[in-house]
Amino acid sequence: MASQVRIKFELNCSPDAVRDAMRSPALIEASEKSRGALDVKVEDLFLDENRHEYVISVTNYARGIKGENRSKQERSKTTVKWDLKSNTRRWTWSGEHPIELTGEDIVTGSSVGATLNMSAQINVKIPVVGRVVAKKLKHGFEENWPKYSKLVEEFASKAT
């Protein structure tokens, strides 16, 4: 089952401040921990004036169709590739479930400061219950992205 989610936020910060906040290991850790991560590691793969690539490794309690299972842990990785000139971030999530998550975030200038356009593609490869899982994932993005945008704005405001 495939699904897509898109959301747009207006932030009262410059586009470069938003981009730099989103790349900050401190923000990445705060964001993951706010959603229950037990452990977060950010590892740079490549960095120059045009590109920044890194991997975010996260350990969480296991999650299933019935919710969180605190007796088990699972790991996931998100590979992130920033085009620093266009303020565009592309990411791919991989974990222990037959789910593909990819996304693109674009930061542009606006009359208030910056516009953050976020999108994610959800592809659940689970027969029968795939539609239910995709719907839950889409709801999770819609619920968490507004919180994330506020966190980004908070970090970006502190940096300027």
The whole domain housing 7 covers 2-159
Q: What is the dihedral of CA 77, 141, 100, 75, to 10 degrees?
A: 30
CATH number at residue 95: 3.30.530.20
Banded pLDDT at 160 (limits 50, 70, 90):
low
- What average pLDDT does the segment 6-33 reach? 97
Please give the pLDDT value at position 1: 73
Please answer whether residues 101 and 1 qualify as being in contact, where contact means their C-beta atoms are separated by less than 8 angstroms.
no
- The three state secondary structure string of 5-19 is EEEEEEECCCHHHHH
Q: Phi/psi of residue 65, each to 5°?
A: -60, -25
Q: Provide the number of structural domains found in the chain.
A: 1
Model confidence over 45-84: pLDDT tens digits? Answer: 999 999 999 999 999 999 876 778 899 999 999 999 999 9
Share of the chain above pLDDT 90, in %: 84
Model confidence over 82-127: pLDDT tens digits? Answer: 999 999 999 999 998 899 999 999 999 999 999 999 999 999 988 8
Least confident of 18-27, 98-107, 122-131, 133-142: 122-131
Sorted by sequence, the CB contacts under 8 Å of residue 87 that are 6+ apart come out as 15, 16, 18, 19, 106, 107, 108
